[in-house]
Amino acid sequence: MTEGREGRAAFRHKSAEIAVAALFFILGALVIADSVRLGVGWQEVHGPRPGYFPFYVGLIICVSAVITFVRALLMPRARSDRTFVQVGQLKLVLTVLIPTAIYAALIGWIGIYVSSILFIGFFMRWLGKYAWWKVAAVSLGAAVVFYLIFEVWFKVPLPKGLVESFLGID
Amino acid sequence: MDEIQSLLHGFGVALTLKNLLLMFTGIILGVIIGVLPGLGGANGVAILLPLTFSMAQQPGGATSAIILLSCIYWGALFGGAITSILFNIPGEPWSVATTFDGYPLAQQGRAGSALTAAFTSSFVGALVAVIVITFLSPIVANFALAFGPPEFFAVYLLTFCAFIGTSKEPPFKTLASMMLGFALAAVGTDPVTGTLRLTFGFTRLLTGFDFLVAVIGLFGIGEILLTLEEGLAFKGASAKLNMKVVLETWKELPKYWLTSVRSSVVGCFMGIVPGGATPASFMSYGVARRFSRDGDAFGTGKIEGVVAPETAAHAAGTAALLPMITLGVPGSPTAAVLLGGLMIWGLQPGPLLFVEQKDFVWGLIASMYLGNIAGLIVVLTCVPLFAAILRVPFSVIAPIIMVVCAIGAYTIHNSIFDVWMMVVFGIAGYLFKKLQYPLAPMVLAIVLGDATEASFRQAMLVSQGDMSIFFSKPLVGSLTSLALLLLFWPLISAAIGRLRRG
């Protein structure tokens, strides 16, 4: 995967460093803003106000972010040009990440069993190119095993949708 | 010898048929978790923690629950070595150093010896650490009974400063990641006054972030995304482990007793002071190479090079439970998850555990002895089975791991929102790992954030805002000084280096 388009850098190391440092700074600033709202000083009887501790936490986040940011800017060329992630790698990561995000959204809607069957099935069929019967066997089998372990053995309820109530295992 | 008596009592608690069954279940699950990419000790225990909710309600159930979870942890510690030696893929960060000599051995057809050496030294390391726990923890707990808020804050400070002093990552990234953990811990209700903080009007955030969700996302999803980059196939050596190889290797092992002793000491120390198993394994490998007679041959396939990191990693992993049960301060992310379990089951971790929950504590300690014996038996007999798991294609195993992670995240609070948060933490984990932001300090900060803040504010109330309270008594003063020394260690060591060169 080092040749051609797939091996090209999707992001450089330097840009990734800068982006994450900036993200940290924003989060730190949010924390500081809310702490200032709550008060960062001393209060009679109660001691330090609720914002006291988070204020310094936010401050340290911002300071560390600035230092990491500046360091990334001053990074020697040989290091800053290093590839953070290749196009091919990023594609592979996204082919997993996007279905996972959809899967997480589906759980609340159609229950964990149906969405898990779809998710495992999708993976095996699309990335693994397995025969349909194998896809069905593994994904259905996994759902049954999860049901037995979690709901029957350890009595932990899992989210269900319409299909389960139709089958009467709600 | 009160400890011996308490320990015998503990064996009585741990040695029931049900607990033995849970022990073996835990070990087997743990080894599988340790072998699979994306599942490790910390998130494996986090995912399976909800399984123990109903179990812990029954009388004596909390002991059974901790036995199950701690055995998963031992299993994961053992399992990491299998993938390192056979596949050159460290299943766990602490088995990276095991690949240096383990994989060359496997390539020379000596996988059996390497595995036997790894498992046996893991066992030895754990045993030493458990003995240390048995005799040291009652003393530490007794000592800690007299702790007030300033002392506890100093211990927390020491824990977090140790990360900055000992981690290989850039200090400001360690600091940023740790403080992000504190910020996440602060979200929700203020532990002292009950004021809402950092919720920005979102009702979802009222209860704050659960660190178990963070652990599953950061270590589970993040790890899978990283593994994906490397491609989808695993190629590995095959393993045959029969009694003959095992006995032959056992005959060879006593030669390395000095390495074992050194590595156990390094491991126990790094486990108790929160450095963790990973640095311990590297440090011990380095020490062994320097002191060994044929240190130059390290890396080409020396049994000694397997013994050193495995002993230390397992000793550190086990010793990390000592501060967890005695002070309520976990020494590693997995210990943090176990601590979270304790709190969910309604046990207050800390020195009082040794007074109020004798059955639980000594049952746990006794189960550490038994669990590691069970672990050694399981791994020595079932290696081919576990290696076969890695031959299952990634396109089958990856979605199943994802589903398991999602179920784990959901079942903590029966909340779909947590599943979404898990995905977000997964992306964060992927980015952080690639940019060398360490994850362990962040997880520990989420767990200990509220307690750290509360102890600080209580101490401030006692002293009416005077910071000198952290230096007011010899004990708290030396803890604080040690913490500050560790905090500025990167600067100090740089200065020393410059002085030497200049």
Q: What is the pLDDT of residues B59-74, one digit of tens each?
A: 778 888 989 999 998 9
The reply to whether B499 falls in a domain is no
pLDDT of residue B80 exceeding 90: no
Distance CA B21, CA B16 (A): 9
The reply to whether B336 falls in a domain is yes
pLDDT of residue B314 exceeding 90: no
Distances in whole angstroms, Cα of residue A38 to Cα of each of A34, A48, B86, B90, B422:
6, 11, 55, 46, 29
Residues A70 and A115 in one domain: no
Residues A17 and A79 in one domain: yes
Alpha helices by DSSP H, listed for B88-235, are 96-107, 111-144, 149-166, 171-186, 211-215, 222-229
Contact (CB, 8 A) for A113 and A142? no
The reply to whether A30 falls in a domain is yes
Selected for mutation to probe chain B from A89, A100, A102, A117 (highest B CB count within 10 Å) is A100
CA torsion angle B217 B222 B225 B227 (round to 10): -120
Least confident of B50-59, B61-70, B305-314: B50-59
Quote the number of domains for chain A: 2
| Among candidates B403, B431, B434 on the partner chain, residue whose Cβ is nearest the Cβ of A116 | B403
Inter-chain CB proximity A154 and B173 less than 8 Å:
no
Phi-psi region at A49: left, alpha or beta (left = phi > 0; alpha = psi -120 to 50): beta
Domain range holding B278? 2-490
Residues A8 and A82 in one domain: yes
The reply to whether A97 falls in a domain is no
The reply to whether B502 falls in a domain is no
The reply to whether B495 falls in a domain is no
* Chain CA centroid to CA A35, Å: 27
Instruction: Report the sign of the C-alpha dihedral through residues B363, B368, B373, B378, in that order.
Output: positive
Inter-chain CB proximity A58 and B183 less than 8 Å:
yes
Q: What is the mean pLDDT of residues B282-289?
A: 81
The reply to whether A100 falls in a domain is no
B400: which chain A residues are within 8 Å (Cβ-Cβ)?
Answer: 120, 142
The reply to whether B210 falls in a domain is yes
Alpha helices by DSSP H, listed for B36-95, are 41-48, 61-87
pLDDT of residue A1 exceeding 60: no
The reply to whether A95 falls in a domain is no
Shortest distance between the Cα of A17 and any Cα of chain B, in A, equals: 7
pTM of the model: 0.86
Distance CA B331, CA B137 (A): 14
| Amino acid identity at A163 | V
Minimum Cα–Cα distance from B426: chain A residue: A97
Contact (CB, 8 A) for B275 and B323? no
Domain boundary among A53, A86, A119: A86
- Specify the 3-state DSSP secondary structure of B108: coil
Inter-chain CB proximity B393 and A128 less than 8 Å:
yes
- Largest CA-CA distance found in chain A, in angstroms, rounded: 71
| Among candidates A67, A120, A159 on the partner chain, residue whose Cβ is nearest the Cβ of B403 | A120
The reply to whether A91 falls in a domain is no
Quote the number of domains for chain B: 1
Residues A65 and A123 in one domain: no
* Chain CA centroid to CA B277, Å: 7
Residues A119 and A55 in one domain: no
Contact (CB, 8 A) for B326 and B140? yes
pLDDT of residue A2 exceeding 50: no
- Specify the 3-state DSSP secondary structure of A84: strand
Contact (CB, 8 A) for B74 and B349? no
The reply to whether A11 falls in a domain is yes
Q: What is the mean pLDDT of residues B116-129?
A: 91
Give the pLDDT band of residue A129 (cuts 50, 70, 90). confident
pLDDT of residue A163 exceeding 90: no
pLDDT of residue B178 exceeding 90: yes
Domain range holding A49? 4-86
- Specify the 3-state DSSP secondary structure of A71: helix
Residues A77 and A16 in one domain: yes
Residues A123 and A76 in one domain: no
The reply to whether B253 falls in a domain is yes
Residues A74 and A20 in one domain: yes
What is residue B373's predicted lDDT score, i.e. its pLDDT?
Answer: 92
pLDDT of residue B140 exceeding 70: yes
Selected for mutation to probe chain A from B184, B213, B226, B396 (highest A CB count within 10 Å) is B396
What is residue A26's predicted lDDT score, i.e. its pLDDT?
Answer: 94
Selected for mutation to probe chain A from B53, B164, B395, B442 (highest A CB count within 10 Å) is B395
Report the relative pairing of strands A47-48 and A83-86 from DSSP bridges.
unpaired
Q: What is the mean pLDDT of residues B457-470?
A: 85
The reply to whether A96 falls in a domain is no
The reply to whether A70 falls in a domain is yes
Contact (CB, 8 A) for B463 and A47? no
Distances in whole angstroms, Cα of residue A169 to Cα of each of A144, A152, B65:
12, 11, 27
